[in-house]
Amino acid sequence: MWLSGKQDHYRRMAGGWQEDAQRKTEARVAGSQCGRDTGWSGTKKRAAVWRCGRNPICSSINWAPVTQKGYWQIRLDAVKVQGALSFCYRSTKGCQAIVDTGTSLISGPAREVLLLQQFIGATPTAVGEYLIDCVRISSLPVVSFLINNVEYSLTGEQYIRRETLNNKEICFSGFQSIDIPSPAGSVWILGDVFLSQFYSIYDRGHNQVGLSDNQAHLSGRSQISV
């Protein structure tokens, strides 16, 4: 879903956490992987419930503790744009990130996202989305998210969504603005644009979120007990 009713969506994320907490199941860990074809409207999600045990894949998981119960919210150390821009780094607390499979884009504070859009050369539309010249995608800067001392990087091909309208290709920025008040610092939402590139694991038993490279899990998928 797109973040049109932003605050309503934020409340729904909290509701999803509460439902997870009430659900009776033997499994403690849920894994999710988003994939896409061409446009983000075609995003597909796969989910599995499994246990790590002695699974060798688990050694590649970067576990980040949940910082606020009620959401899959974790600390975000920094957001970097190819060494030229950096957000969150001025605060000793860093920022906060909500990992959300129900959000299509990557959302962040209005001021920071505006600077990011300007830096990648995105131009605003009348409806609040940002357009990119499709021929520039290969030359766009890498945007990285530093989580628990591990850097997760996205290229222009990965954070730009392509759509076809009247037989013409249109390219949209995968970032959008949303201001969410939080005493723990600025809040970003890592939606499908981010999650399509990494495997995410949601551990209610230990209140932590795990991230790992998609390819590692795809190559070892037969070893996951579903």
The pLDDT confidence band at residue 178, using thresholds 50, 70 and 90, is very high
CB count within 10 Å of CB 52 equals: 17
Return the minimum-mean-pLDDT range out of 61-65, 68-72, 122-126.
Answer: 68-72
Q: What's residue 56's pLDDT?
A: 60
Band the pLDDT of 162: cuts 50, 70, 90: very high
pLDDT grade for 54, boundaries at 50, 70 and 90 = low
pLDDT at 69: 86
6-223 placed in CATH 2.40.70.10: yes
Question: Scanning the structure block, which residue is given the tokens 């890592």?
Answer: 190
Pairing of the two strands 187-190 and 95-99: parallel
Comparison of pLDDT for 29 and 6, the residue scoring more: 29
Where is average pLDDT lowest: 10-24, 63-77, 87-101, 206-220? 10-24
* Residue with the larger pLDDT of the pair 8 and 186: 186
Domain boundaries, the chain: 6-223
CA–CA separation, 208 and 73 (whole Å)? 9
pLDDT tops 70 at residue 66: yes
What number of other Cβ atoms are within 10 A of residue 80's Cβ? 20
The Cα 122–Cα 114 span in angstroms is 9
- The mean pLDDT of the chain is 78
